[in-house]
Chains A and B, each alone.
Chain A
Amino acid sequence: MGGGPQQLEQGLEDAEQTVRLATEHLSHIPQPLQPNITGAVMAALATIQATTAFGSTTVRDALAQFPYGIAHDTMQVFASEDEARDHTEREMRYIESHRLPDRRSDEELEASAAGFETSLVQDRRELARLERMPTPDRGEIRRLDISIQTTELELRRIHYELERRSGIDVPEVFDEDVQAARQAGTTALGWMSASYLGADLHAVVSSAPPILTVESERFFDSLDALEAHYGSTARYFPGTNHIAVRSVQDDLVKDALEATVAHEMLHYIAYLGGGHHIRWTSDSGELVEQGEITWLHEGLTELHAQQLTAAHGIHPDASAYEHEVRTAFYMQRIVGESVLRRAYLTGDFSEVRTRLNARLGEGTFETLAKQRAYVSDPRAPGATSYVTRGSEAISFLVGRMDEAGVDRSTWDQDPLIADSVRAERLIEGGADGSG
C-alpha cells in the first residue's frame, strides 16, 4: 500500500468509520442492498488489515464487529403459516409474470398431451415386462423409470397451461401432507437447540423461527419449469423465514420428510448466522472472503441434517449430494464436530483451515475452498488446480489423506458414506467392491 504514515493513518480512520457506520446501520438497509454494504465493508477491512502495522484494530476485531449473518429485522419474517402461504401466492404470481410464454395453441398442446399419454402407456407396459424378467436389466429399468417421470411432468405442465388459459385455479395440497409436515417441522425445530446452535444463534432463531408450508405440485412444477430443474421437493426462500415442501403422495419423499425439513431449516439458520459467507483468516492475518461455495455448503447442510435425524432414531434411505456429503464427513472427522458445525453456521472457517492444514499439509483447505468461475475462464488461469464440486473435493482430499497416512477404514463404514465408498471402489475396478 502506497503513501506515507499520515496518509495510511487517515485511510485507516476512514476504513474504521466505514465499518462502524455499516455495522450501526446495516439493520436499517433493505436486504437486497446489503451485498453493496458488504462490499464496502470488505474493502474497508482490507485497508484495516493493510495498516495494522500502525497498531490499530486487527482484522479479527473488525470482523467481530460486522454481522455477516442477515440482520433479521430487515427480513420478511412470517409469523404464521397463513402469512407464509400469502408469500407463496405472491411468489406464484411473480413466477407467472416471469414465465416464458408457451406459444403453442390449445390444439397443439392437446395433441402433444395425447402423444405423451401414448408414450406413457407404452413405457409403463415395457417397464412391467422388464420387471417380470428373471434377470431384469436394471439399466434399462432405470432409463424407463426416468423417462416415465419426465413424461408425467410434461403432461402435468400441459395441463397447468390449459388450466391457466381456462382460468381454473386448482389447489392441490393434501391435508395428510400438511399434518405430516407440521409434525416434522416441530420435531426438527426441537433438534435445533441452544447447545446445538450456540446460545446467540439460537436466540436469533427463536425470535424468527422458520415457517413451514406445504405447497402444491403445481407450484413446485412451475418453479422447476422456470429453472429447467426436475422434481425439487423443498425450497428455502432467502431473505425470509419461509420453507416450502412439496405436497406429494410419494412414500419415498414422505420417509425422508424429517431429514428434508431439517436440511431446509439448517439452510435458513446458516443464513441467519452468516454461514453463506465463507471466509477465513490466513496465517499472516489477511482476511480471505470467499462468499458462498455451493458444493461445500450443500454438503455440510446435508451432513448435519442426516446426522441430526439419525441421532434422533430416524434413518432416511439415501442422502442427496453423496460426494459433497462425503467431503464434509471427512472434514468433520479431521477437524472435529463442533469446530466444523460452528464454521458451517457462522461462515468463519479460520479454525477449520488451521486444523485441516495441520493434519493434511499446508494449502489443503485453500485448495478446497478457493473457487474460480470456470475452468475456461481467461480471468482465472490455473483454475483447474481448484475444486469446484464434491467429486473433485473427494478425489483431492482422499489423496491428501493417503499422503498423510490417515486411516479412514473405520470412517468408511459409516452408513452415511458407505454406499458412496462402495460405488467408488466399483468404478476403480474391484467388481466385488473391495477396491
Chain B
Amino acid sequence: MDLVNTDEYKNAKAKIASLAQALDEAKKSDVAKLRDEKFEFFKKMKETNPRLYSAFRIDDNEMSRKIHKKLTGKDVIID
C-alpha cells in the first residue's frame, strides 16, 4: 500500500496539522509547551518508524522554522 494511504500516515498527518495550527495561533508564552510536544512527537516517530519519519521530516523542519520565527521574529533556513 502507498505510504500516504496508510492509517499511521493519516494519523500522523492529522496530529501534525493540529500541532502546526496550534503553533500558529499560540502566544509566545505558549510556545514552550508546543515545542516540547513537537520534539517528543518527532523523536518517537524517528525511533519507531523511520520510514514514516522520512515522509514527515519536512514538517519537522518547517515547524522548527516556525518556532524560531515565533520566538525571535527572525527567519532561518535549517538543514
Instruction: Note all chain A residues with C-beta closer than 8 A to B77.
Output: 235-238, 264, 267
Q: Looking at the complex, which of A19-27, A93-101, A361-369 is the stretch in contact with chain B? A: A93-101
**0/1 per residue, A207-240, Cβ < 8 Å to B?**
0000000000000000110111110111111110
CB distance from A216 to the nearest CB of B (A): 17
Structural contact, A227 and B14, CB atoms closer than 8 A: no
Chain B residues near A414: list those with CB within 8 A.
none
Q: How many residues of B contact A (CB 8 A)?
A: 48
B21: A residues at CB distance < 8 A: 373-374, 376-377
Closest A residue to B50 by beta carbon equals A142
- Complex alpha-carbon distance, A423 and B54, angstroms: 11
Chain A residues closer than 8 Å to B59, beta-carbon distance: 389
Q: Give A143 to B47 CA distance when docked, in angstroms.
A: 5
Residues of A within 8 A of B71 (CB): 98, 100, 226-227
A363-394 vs B, Cβ < 8 Å mask (1 yes, 0 no): 00000000001111100000000000111100
Complex interface bits, B46-61 against A, C-beta within 8 A gives 1, otherwise 0: 1110110011111111
Distance in angstroms between the alpha carbons of A234 and B39 in the assembled complex: 19
A interface SS class:
helix
Would B55 and A142 count as touching, CB distance under 8 A?
no
Complexed CA–CA distance, A322 and B9 (Å): 16
* Complex interface residues of chain B between 26 and 67 (CB less than 8 A to chain A): 31-32, 35-36, 38-39, 42-43, 46-48, 50-51, 54-65, 67
Q: Hey, which chain A residues are within 8 Å of B64, CB to CB?
A: 224, 227-229, 232
CB–CB B60/A229 < 8 A: yes
Q: Per-residue 0/1 for B65-79: is the Cβ within 8 Å of any A Cβ (1 yes, 0 no)?
A: 101100110111111
Q: In the assembly, what is the distance between CA of A395 and CA of B4, in Å?
A: 7
| Number of A-B residue pairs at CB separation under 8 A | 130
Is the Cβ of B2 less than 8 Å from the Cβ of A228? no
State how many residues of chain A have any CB contact under 8 Å with chain B: 51
Q: Does the CB pair A423–B51 fall under 8 Å?
A: yes
**Pairwise interchain contact A295-B76, C-beta atoms closer than 8 A:** no
CB A419 to nearest CB in B, in angstroms, measures 10
Residues of chain A lying within 8 A (CB to CB) of residue B42: 230
Q: Per a CB cutoff under 8 Å, which of A150, A233, A376, A427 touches B51?
A: A427
B14 contacts across to A, CB distance below 8 A: 375-376
- Residue A353 is within 8 A (CB to CB) of chain B in the complex: no
| A389 B38 Cβ-Cβ under 8 A | no
A350 at the interface (CB under 8 A from B): no
Residue A255 at the chain B interface, CB threshold 8 Å: no
**CA distance in complex: A94, B75 (Å):** 13
A428 to B2, CA, bound (A): 6
CB pair A234 B76 closer than 8 Å: no
The residue in chain B whose Cβ has the minimal distance to the Cβ of A424 is B3
Task: Name the contact of A294 in the complex, choosing from B55, B61, B74 (C-beta under 8 A).
Answer: B61
Among residues of A, the one whose C-beta sits closest to the C-beta of B49 is A139
B78 near A229 with CB under 8 A, answer: yes
Chain B residue at smallest Cβ distance from A143:
B47
Asked if A263 CB lies within 8 Å of chain B CBs, one says yes
Q: Tell me the bound Cα distance from A116 to B17 in angstroms.
A: 32
Please report A residues at the B interface, Cβ cutoff 8 Å: 94-95, 98, 100, 142-143, 146-147, 150, 223-224, 226-230, 232-239, 260, 263-264, 267, 294-295, 298, 320-324, 373-377, 389-392, 395, 423-424, 427-429
12 intermolecular pairs with C-beta atoms under 8 Å apart: A98-B71, A143-B47, A146-B43, A146-B46, A223-B68, A227-B65, A267-B77, A294-B62, A323-B55, A373-B20, A389-B59, A395-B3
